[in-house]
């Protein structure tokens, strides 16, 4: 039970950090700065603030997945985390 609480706390910290970093990136970077990608139907503008926001959230999701996967492997093998 102690390890489950510790795992939940780690995941909560990662998500809180990811959201705070994503909001900070979104607030600091201007919406007018970005990259324009050409496609067959026209062009798509991706602002750096949106790219940074989604990158931070993806990083939080990735770390959460790795922590949960590590905990599952440790439970199956009986290893100490």
Q: Tell me the whole-structure pTM to 2 decimals.
A: 0.57
Q: What is the pLDDT of residues 3-61, one digit of tens each?
A: 667 777 877 887 788 778 778 877 887 777 778 888 788 888 877 777 777 887 787 78
- Where residue 35 falls (left for φ over 0; alpha for ψ -120 to 50; beta otherwise) is beta
Beta strands in 1-81 (DSSP E): 34-38, 43-47
The Cα–Cα gap between 22 and 28 comes to 10
């Amino acid at each position: 039970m102690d390890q489950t609480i510790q795992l939940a706390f780690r995941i909560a910290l990662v998500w809180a950090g990811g959201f705070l970093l994503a909001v900070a990136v979104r607030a600091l970077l201007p919406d007018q700065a970005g990259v324009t990608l050409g496609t067959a139907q026209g062009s798509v503008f991706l602002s750096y603030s949106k790219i940074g926001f989604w990158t931070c959230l993806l990083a939080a999701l990735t770390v959460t997945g790795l922590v949960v996967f590590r905990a599952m492997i440790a439970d199956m093998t009986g290893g100490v985390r």
